[in-house]
Structure 1
């Protein structure tokens, strides 16, 4: 057996055929101390005081990340994860840049100018059954500069959606270049000397030099330089120079590959490109629209140009495979460029181009058509019940592993809801709510499980961070995608929690940090992690690997995109939803091309693999950051498996190819992450996957998985078949499956009103409120996404299902005075101030005016789960009250300190006996508050929300109010500050 390997990357170490070591010296950090400054966002908050490590680099990068931007550069936070970010984020090359892989060209900045590389033949290393990689590595052909130029630092003068303008100035000479994704042209503006092209890859072969245009070849790559009319080019000792007729601008184009190198063909291409050589690109901008009615995503890639000479404003661009396969309204030329992503096709004479892609829908979870009854339902419910004690099963306290736990709990909640297991659903939702509330609250003195906003970098960092999410700004979309997805599940069942004045604002900040969807929001860079032109995310951005940026887990990137769709739909935020649909649809196409190469067109011959574990700027690797095991190299692009990962089944035959390679490379069936790999296989061959699952009941679940979810997923795909991409729907949470020609139409309605979904083949499906429904081969309706939601949006579960009548021996003991509260002093409990609704918790168990400062101990829960069930509670009571109900709700502020204890959670219940007859007419049980292991008080307030409530409030006439406080979870005691600290404010005049 191969032992399970901890999942995720180890910074700077790549399990690949190339040994790569990067040394970062002199990095020191002193943890911040004192009280963190909290910025409130609704009921949540983040800190603006530094609590952990920050991004680092050359000079004063940690505090001044704009030091390598000129005064002309766009205002706001710097883009940190773009293909060119190493120009700004100088981490290991403190003067210039790392190689910049723009495709079809690569560049690198140096003291004397800009280097060009057009590597067209890949280097392949490794084996076809083990780790291996292909690289179109930076290999310089020439440098472009100004004669005698020598600068200490190259800065950035401008950027747009997929272009950048590096800038050189030595005080006498200047040069400004503009380069970009998909651009065969590079544009230059110079002053202080002659423009020069200095070959560094061998002597150039000049095949045309006429007037302002010169054509030359270096290392088999054809280039043309275009100077203004009236200028000429000179060649001396291989160096090409021009005074540019004093006009200070020129451009250079890489010509596409052709079957022939005849001079006439070159001349024709040079003339064609020359028509657009002086329409300098000054900016690029994407716009997208999700057409819900047709189920399409229409994207426009626009170019802004300046006519330096003549009137032509159109340009020449080259498209990646995911773009040209979806191109609409234009026909690409037959001309192509080789690249690390496959053939790029040329469009000439354009100011924009458009793509149209089908959006095939996502689901909160697969419908339970195969596990909705009989023995399979019994098995699933047993597996769900086994998860109640630990739905998150978090393996660590950082943002990544907390996120994994949240993702696990969200899957459990969704499945439990579908099959009517409200008890497990409630437990899972409570775990999500408690965890998110904790992370979304920056209490005084709190330094862990907290989000910090750094204004200089324009980023929100969660601490404890992991895998470079702080120092490198790695993986924010990976980590935060889990948080957002879990929040979307919670929002379905508790919409009040997701309001902007509650915790929805904090969720939105996480979204904007990883991929800010609003250009008007200057707190974060626009679409930080998503490379607009390349069509996929980048996990890191400083490029200190000589290979450009990289992204390993494309599927965790898709988890983020799906989370945006689910959250936007649950909260009615169409801007978030549409951003998610755009990223999801575009990236689904990119993954099929660049991670899976499903059409077998893009990976170079001789690579020997049907998939890569990592995509790099200059190629791809059958490898991961953390393991050389085939299960993990392939599985890292499959997890997590959710209803938003159906794109992995768009080419079902490929799933079987991918799995077969795994078995081949592994020398047999997988022994780790088997559940993940079987679930991927189920999207291509569900019967085989189900057979493997049933034959191996003792497998070890992957760290973010559960047996219940794996069985639910595979068993239901065995009934449904594979995703049917020939049909779309007019609803974002809808899709179609096809098994042997029989279709099942599926839609999920998470609203409170019925919904009718229409599919592109004319089929319509009516879905009841809070249900997932199917039609066709399987007709089924299940789930209750709004079950138990009272008008305030707080869950009010059926007591018979979620809050069973407690055993008196457990819930109503005669408390030990040493553990709870003594019998209240009548002077404090019977005669409180009659005119004050604010009641302090007093040492003798009363509720009255402020008393002597004191503390009392809330006993631990003894390791059991006491959620909703008082156990050895502290009791505080006020009697003989005559007060008029003023409307509103109970509020409170309890001062809690668990010291350094981990895993504690304190809960409160407030009960009202309106007439003093011994019967409580209104009982409010609040969700427990998870305390942190940092000494110092935290504030437990009503903002955690109601767990349950019974009865209604009214006027108090000789009434009684009772407050009970106990430990819902945890084995250690918690200190409660009373006397003049903790208080409850009654909703009475």
Structure 2
């Protein structure tokens, strides 16, 4: 990979703005209704606020550090407003400790605690909830007295917001609590001119501050009617803001009252290996007041000097991302100084770079294996009823072709395989697979036709419902990048358009592309992606495979390089660098991890990371090789970036050393030893070249050629 050029705004230009090619049948319907969504698409499917338009519309939304939900007349408060909750670390519930590690199997945060509910007297059983301004990091939630009525209260939700803010449109404010008021005290002197302040002590000992501000001059006078209900004496035009005080934070919270965020503009630039990305907050309310926003640990770690000066001492616990830190600023700038710009297709090390030279003896040994594997029936192996498994097969053979051509120095053999690979890929590029993709305009995306044809909502891991798109399509993008690298003549307009359509579906960078939402999967606030699509869930979005998340970012990087789209390549590099940073805090745990609970990090991996819980398991079984291994596959040049040596060594010592890995069977055995190659290539080489090596130890997305080549390259 050549040194990356300077890109002043890597989010500035769309990949494309045209409709997806005619090979994609267009559907205007989708099995999941768009509850309460106003306006035309495309609509976000995998973002933090999805519960507001799914199911009963009242499962929680996790804005960090708060969670909010439409109370909908239910729960202890019996409110029809927006309930606000914040969970302390000591309120967590832990699963049973594992006998071998002593680590809790899971931890979760209680849901349904209605500390404060912001409502209006006019809301009742006929109330409705609508959404507008649906963006990647923000949304407006509107509460209406009746369906198709006018909004009585609007809640602009922005990830990391320091206050939950309700904009009252002439309705009468009502505040409920399911925890009960101990005292409600009005400040005799507001924190600033025009702002009314109440401090509420709840019966759980927690302190909340409530602020009222009206540009029209309305005043907020609350009457406490009982220990769970207070209401204003008259209708109100203005904002009411709620913030929890973790202790010694009142002055900081006071100073930020009156202003609130309404959205986020993401921008970014690169220069060499340095990447910079910025959140610029759109702001309303008091313009001379700086916003209070909460940053996650990986943000604070990467803040530039000026942003770091705005960091306060105020912290609140998040559900699964450690302590959030209050930042008093209208914009944040984060720096990734070591993007992997020189990483290409060859095995790679963060210190010594790409490994393209193999010893002659290794080449001779691997070549016999490559000859066998490159002769396998690629068309048959990739012709499956699953985009996921088909993509894995194509990427597997792409790596065999690459290794044969570039590292084993056998272009003739590589091209015979490459021709078969291109033929196998063409089935998908022509959209002639068993379940062709549809472009559906109801939400805005390319989805498997499997659910439409079978009625099974879980077909192909829920692809039709937008589950796992970055996993599924990432493998195709990766295979295409290798094909294009080996044969630039394959990069015809139809082939590039097909692959770019998959990139647009998972990682469209621009709102000027009207066919796909912006960054469906990657969450620029959390620093990783969410796999969970259009299914209501109490614990919020989740993701099981951190390594396949990394794979999709790597695929975007190398595809951008192959088609000479410098901005796409830069976005892939930036995402990889951010993922590497966030995984080490939230997903992959060394013994000194200070973010996750101390009694959980012994698991070494999160298992499935939700917004509200971590569960050391998988969706397909509880074998330890499944739980750890799903965070290892596939083995890529980027693996050593996102899975650092120290982590791999500690994980291996916890679960797999001293012959324990040898007792595991099936494709997971190969995955484990492929992972071992990142830190102990000699032992991995001995395993993969053993005379009694069993082909059943290869996962359907893995080849012996690539495993041997990877280990040999790192051995030097």
Superposition TM-score, scaled by structure 2 size = 0.84
| 2:223–2:233 Cα contact (<8 Å) kept | no
Which of 694, 697, 701 pairs up with 1:698?
694
Alignment correspondent of 1:161 = 136
Distance 1:228 1:406, change over 3 A: same
Paired residues of 2:71 and 2:83 also in contact (CA < 8 A) = yes
Deviations 1:445-496 (A, max 9, x none): x673533211222111244574344442111111111111111111112223
Paired residue total: 644
In 2: Cα distance, 1:587 partner to 1:220 partner: 38
SS in structure 1 of the partner of residue 36 of structure 2: coil
Query: Contact between 1:118 and 1:139, CA under 8 Å: does it hold in 2?
Result: no
Corresponding residue of 2:455:
none
What residue number does 1:87 align with?
A: 52
Q: Aligned partners of 2:508 and 2:236: how far apart in 1?
A: 43
Q: Check if 1:282 corresponds to 2:269.
A: no
Q: Summarize deviations over 1:587-631 as a string: whole Å, max 9, x none.
A: 221112111034411221322412122110102111111111110
- Among 329, 334, 337, which residue is 1:355 paired with? 334
- Greater helix percent: which structure? 2
Cross-structure match for 2:98: 128
2:238 maps to which of 227, 248, 265: 248
Pick the aligned partner of 1:398 from 358, 382, 386.
386
Structure 2 Cα separation of the partners of residues 304 and 338 of structure 1? 25
Is the aligned partner of 1:713 residue 2:698?
A: no
Residues 242 and 670 from structure 1, CA distance in 2 versus in 1: closer, same or farther, beyond 3 angstroms? Answer: farther
Provide the C-alpha distance between the structure 2 equivalents of 1:160 and 1:304, rounded to a whole number of angstroms: 12
Query: In structure 1, how many angstroms separate the alpha carbons of the residues matched to 2:265 and 2:632?
Result: 31
Q: Are the equivalent residues in 2 in contact too, given 1:630–1:665 (CA < 8 A)? A: no
Q: Distance in 2 between matches of 1:189 and 1:634?
A: 46
Structure 2: tracts of 5 or more residues without a match: 1-17, 73-79, 191-195, 349-353, 452-458
Query: Given that residues 638 and 680 in structure 1 are in contact (C-alpha distance below 8 angstroms), is that contact kept between their aligned partners in structure 2?
Result: yes
Provide the C-alpha distance between the structure 1 equivalents of 2:506 and 2:360, rounded to a whole number of angstroms: 44
Report the structure number with the largest CA radius of gyration. Answer: 1
> Which one of 471, 475, 491 corresponds to residue 484 of structure 2?
491
CA RMSD in angstroms, aligned pairs only: 2.8
CA drift of 1:665 comes to 13
Are the structure 2 counterparts of residues 441 and 547 from structure 1 closer, same or farther at C-alpha, using a change threshold of 3 Å?
same
3-state secondary structure, aligned to 1:427: helix
Distance 1:467 1:206, change over 3 A: farther
Deviation string, structure 1 residues 776-828 (Cα, Å, up to 9, x no partner): xxxxxxxxxxxxxxxxxxxxxxxxxxxxxxxxxxxxxxxxxxxxxxxxxxxxx
- Residues 412-436 of structure 1 deviation map (CA, whole Å, 9 limit, x = unaligned): 0110012122243123322331122
**1:672-691 mapped onto 2 (5 Å cutoff):** 672=665, 673-691=668-686
Question: Does the 8 Å CA contact 1:391/1:409 hold for their aligned counterparts?
Answer: no
Q: Which residue of 1 is the match for residue 303 of structure 2?
A: 327
Contact 1:305 1:313 in 2 (8 A): no
Whether contact under 8 Å (2:264, 2:279) holds in the other structure is: yes
User: Contact conserved, 2:347 with 2:356, CA < 8 A, in 1?
Assistant: no
- CA distance, structure 2, for counterparts of residue 548 and residue 578 of structure 1: 30
Instruction: Give the gaps of 5 or more residues in structure 1.
Output: 1-39, 259-264, 720-989
Q: Single out whichever of 427-436 and 402-411 deviates more from structure 2.
A: 427-436
Judge conservation of contact 2:155–2:166 (CA < 8 Å) in 1. yes
- The equivalent residue for 2:14 is none
The 2-side partners of 1:396 and 1:716 are apart by 32
What secondary structure does 1:435 align onto? helix
Structure 1 residue 402: deviation in Å? 0.7
1:99 — aligned with what? 60
Return the offset for 1:698.
3.0
Q: 2:674·2:707 contact (CA, 8 Å) conserved in 1?
A: yes
Report the CA distance shift for 1:248/1:420 in structure 2 as closer, same or farther (over 3 A).
same
Q: Hey, what's the Cα distance between the residues in 2 that align with 1:684 and 1:221?
A: 48
The higher relative CO (CA closer than 8 Å, separation ≥ 6) is in 2
Measured in 2, the distance between the counterparts of 1:526 and 1:441 equals 25
Q: SS state of the match for residue 634, structure 2? A: coil
Rounded Cα–Cα distance in structure 1 between residues aligned with 2:138 and 2:234: 24
| Equivalent residue for 1:413, pick from 386, 401, 405 | 401
Counterpart in the other structure of 1:217: 201
From the two aligned structures, give the one with the greater strand fraction. Answer: 1
TM-score normalised according to structure 1 size: 0.62
Hey, what's the Cα distance between the residues in 1 that align with 2:127 and 2:447? 32
Structure 1 residue aligned with 2:614, among 620, 630, 639? 620
Encode CA deviations 1:869-925: one digit per residue, 9 max, x unaligned. xxxxxxxxxxxxxxxxxxxxxxxxxxxxxxxxxxxxxxxxxxxxxxxxxxxxxxxxx
**The one of 518, 524, 529 aligned to 2:510:** 518
Q: CA separation in 2, counterparts of 1:50 and 1:101?
A: 31
Residues 536-593 of structure 1: CA deviation (Å, up to 9, x unaligned): 1111133523110111111112111111111111111123212222222222211121
Q: Distance in 2 between matches of 1:100 and 1:507?
A: 33
Residues 141-179 of structure 1, C-alpha deviations (whole Å, 9 max, x = no match): 232101241244311132333122111111487111122
Distance 1:424-1:513 versus aligned 2 partners, 3 A rule: same
User: Within 1, Cα distance between the matches of 2:347 and 2:60?
Assistant: 44
Equivalent residue in structure 2 for 1:660, among 653, 666, 675: 653
Determine if contact 1:161/1:286 at 8 Å carries over to the other structure: no
CA distance in 2, matches of 1:532, 1:347: 18
Residues 1:237 and 2:226 are matched in the alignment? yes
The question of whether the paired residues in 2 share the 8 Å contact of 1:391 and 1:427 is answered with no
Where do residues 74-473 of structure 1 align in structure 2 (5 Å cutoff)? Answer: 75-88=40-53, 90=54, 92-93=55-56, 96-111=57-72, 112-121=80-89, 122-128=92-98, 132-140=105-113, 141-150=115-124, 151-171=126-146, 174-191=152-169, 193-206=171-184, 209-210=187-188, 212-218=196-202, 219-228=204-213, 230-238=219-227, 239-243=229-233, 246-255=236-245, 257-258=246-247, 265=248, 269-291=249-271, 293=272, 295-307=273-285, 309=286, 311-328=287-304, 329-331=306-308, 332-357=311-336, 358-361=338-341, 362-366=343-347, 372-390=358-376, 392=378, 393-394=381-382, 396-417=384-405, 418-442=407-431, 448=434, 450-464=436-450, 466-473=459-466
Change (3 A) 1:184 1:646: same
The 1:610/1:136 distance shift into structure 2, 3 A limit, reads same
Per the TM alignment, residue 645 of structure 1 is displaced from its structure 2 partner at its CA by 2.5
